[in-house]
A and B are shown apart, each in its own frame.
Chain A
Amino acid sequence: MTGAQLHVVKAGPMVTIQDVGRPDLMRYGVPASGPMDRLAFAAANAALGNRTGAPAIEISLGGLTLSCEGAPVGFAVAGGGFIVEHGGRKAGSWHCATLTPGETLTIRPGPWGSWCYLALPGGVTAPHWLGSAATHAVSGLGGGRILPGQVLTPETSAESIQPCAITCPLTARPRPQVHVTLGPQDRFFDAEALGLLRNGPWRMTTAWDRMGVRLDGPALQPNAPLDMPSGPVTRGAIQVAGDGVATILLADHQTTGGYPRIATVLDCDLDGLMQLRPRDRLAFSPVTPEQATTIARRAAKGAARYLAGLTPA
């Protein structure tokens, strides 16, 4: 083995390999998984000129420390305001650089954000399941959780790259106000509960993993017995348990559930929502389906323009 090897010295919980995910398998009980912040993930890959959706490492607030051996290796870091240290240099996320043998790379939480992405040239070599290296956290299927002692390698050997800054767009900042469509099970809630959904106050909590984040806020009491049969569930669904506690379902969500979903966060607002921190405030703005379409198309155009403008290092 002559290429670069990155030895995992320390890895917090919920540090995993993610790629673009495994879409369109929900009918078999398989959520799409993939990055919590898909825009930041895409930016890290684009900065290295990787193919769209190549496997990268998703870093939680738990942080990650790697030591480089064998050969130098270029890398890109994007997502959140994390702190990136290597070879005596200290910088924020949103840049690319080269790590040389003997150096240690440490990525840890900084002033803002909850998720950060480390991309390597060509992508991180990782096991695939159903055509994707995205880690499904509950089963561990896919690329898997990053554990101390593990060795990570890049798919291609780009030994050194020009140091560069990656523009951090406004849309990659934490989004405390997200759009929702009501339902699909809003019929279980009266006007008062729907008012509480709108007015909050809501906060993120530490009960947050890749399946969902529990919210701190008013109890949303259902006004009818919860006798609905299990039905399909999507990423972004705001599910209300029998005790009135709301949870937003995330990348590794169960594909069906028997609790009513009072509203659904627009998919295009979820990346920004994920960069909030536990205890941060958030608010929901209900929109019509027509407004949702307009907002989603505008967001997609903005993201495409931003990614196209990132010049590979």
Chain B
Amino acid sequence: MSEAVSDASVGPREGKYRAPILSSSLRYWLSKVGLFLLTLWAAVTLNFILPRLMPGSPADAAIAKLSQSGPVSAATKHAIEAQLGVPSGNIWQQYIEYLHQVVTLNFGVSYTFFPESVESLVMRALPYTITLVGITTIVAFIVGTLLGASAAWRRGTWRDTVPTLTGSFLSTFPYFWVALLLLFFLGYVAHLFPTSGAYAPTVEPNLSFSFFGDAIYHAILPAVTLFVTSLGGWILGMRNAMINTLGDDYITFAEANGLKGRTVALRYAARNAILPNLTGFGLALGGVVGGSILVEQVFGYPGVGYLLFNAVINQDFPLMQALFLMITLSVLVANFLVDILYGILDPRTHR
């Protein structure tokens, strides 16, 4: 993935030879950093342009909502516009102001959860999402990659067909469907797990063991959902990459040299085949911050995804803009780090 993003897969095989001005390695890193900064700017700007391209404005939406319950006076309208910080001035001034907001991380006040600031809402949701989605992503990556490697190595046996078929089956399951089924059968019917929230309503969040126990208990069903639905991608990714690697001559050569099967599988094949999966893993880690909107919505889990869902449903534009920016930037940064790592792990990319 990232070799795509980085344009590195092309490599030096293509193109005519040009006398290097800088060493090719330095040029590689400089172009990486340049591209990252450019993408960063574009993503920030996209977040600025998007709402302005769309019909209507947040204030219009708010006023439309209010006018359902009665006529809206001009004074109220003005107050709403002021409260929502409806931009004044020309587009350039707005843009400068927006950039200033982004740099100072000041996203104003949430409209749904007035008078809470966007920042405090995000900060409250982040720990839940990062713990839940982060741990699940790591575990799914490790288990899936190992299963994929063993599937490719034992190709054609049950150790291949079972994980591959289950994996491809599971990865086509809609997240929210798996979530709903687990919630219904294990939560509502069997009463084994709580049906909503990150902790029991009677408990206040604190640092005691009992609270952590309760929080883990509440996180099990969402975690199982995320694990089950993301496992397949890792299995298939690793399996396909490793099948390609196993067809290479150096594997045949290693086998011909009489190396042990395990050595060939792990140190020769898996080590090279893991690169694409590793890129995917880096990106998935970047995506952790965004949480999982569908799963968090089903379980009413108070993470970032659920916050975004609430912002969307209530047309809370300041919150939505801040969340979208945060989610985009974290993926972007993760992608950049993966690119760097990829360049180190696979020096061919910038030879």
Pair from one complex:
no
A interface list, Cβ under 8 A from B: none
B interface list, Cβ under 8 A from A: none
